[in-house]
């Protein structure tokens, strides 16, 4: 997506929701979308892509990141992430009261540990926006809060 004039956090969450519709998640039925913004406002999106081996599954954040890097982007500002649990009928299970589904997802999805490291490797201390399945801005962090004392080589 081409550069734009500063999107709101909510707009970035909505882009993540849109791309989550492309998720390939037949095993978990958990559809994740990520919208990674570069310093110049370009948005790279990603969704999760699952493997029958389970372990080879690729997270939405890593799809967005590798798309961006492979297009030459090197400087990043923010990432928005959302996850929507779908049911056996393929429809989203949207429920405000998160007693049945992931509390994590409903208060704003955070990236998994592996994605935290890869985001740190290539984006350093970006803003991480955990969006809700309803399209709201949930929790907002700096990546350094999510991955304190991160492993890194060099500056």
The yes or no reply on residue 13 touching ligand THU (CB under 6 A) is no
Among the candidate windows 6-14, 23-31, 86-94, 132-140, which touches ligand THU by CB under 6 A?
23-31
Cβ proximity to ligand THU, 22 vs 42, nearer residue: 22
Of the candidate residues 16, 60, 73, 119, the single one contacting ligand THU (CB under 6 A): 60
The yes or no reply on residue 32 touching ligand THU (CB under 6 A) is yes
3-class secondary structure, 77: strand
Of the candidate residues 20, 45, 48, 105, the single one contacting ligand THU (CB under 6 A): 48
Q: Which two tokens stand for residue 120?
A: 């740190």
Helices (H) and strands (E) in the chain, counts: 5, 5
Contact 87, 29 (CB under 8 A): yes
Cβ proximity to ligand THU, 13 vs 59, nearer residue: 59
The yes or no reply on residue 93 touching ligand THU (CB under 6 A) is no
Name the DSSP class of 24.
B
Which residue matches tokens 């500056």?
155
Of the candidate residues 30, 44, 76, 120, the single one contacting ligand THU (CB under 6 A): 30
Beta 127-131 vs 137-142: how paired, if at all?
antiparallel
DSSP H helical ranges for the chain: 9-20, 60-70, 103-106, 113-123, 143-146
User: Which residues of this chain interact with ligand THU, rule CB under 6 A?
Assistant: 25, 28, 30, 32, 48, 50, 57, 59-61, 111-112, 115
């Amino acid at each position: 997506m081409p550069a734009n004039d500063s999107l709101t956090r909510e707009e970035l969450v909505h882009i993540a929701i849109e791309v989550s519709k492309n998720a390939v998640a037949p095993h978990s039925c958990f559809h994740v979308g990520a919208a990674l913004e570069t310093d110049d406002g370009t948005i790279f999106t990603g969704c999760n892509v699952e493997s029958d081996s389970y372990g080879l599954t690729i997270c939405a954040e890593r799809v967005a990141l590798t798309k961006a890097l492979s297009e030459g982007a090197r400087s990043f500002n923010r990432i928005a992430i959302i996850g929507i649990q779908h049911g056996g009928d393929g429809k989203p299970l949207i429920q405000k009261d998160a007693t049945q589904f992931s509390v994590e997802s409903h208060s704003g999805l955070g990236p998994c540990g592996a994605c935290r490291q890869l985001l740190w490797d290539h984006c350093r201390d970006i803003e991480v926006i955990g969006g809700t399945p309803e399209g709201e801005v949930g929790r907002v962090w700096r990546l350094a809060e999510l991955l304190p004392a991160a492993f890194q080589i060099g500056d």
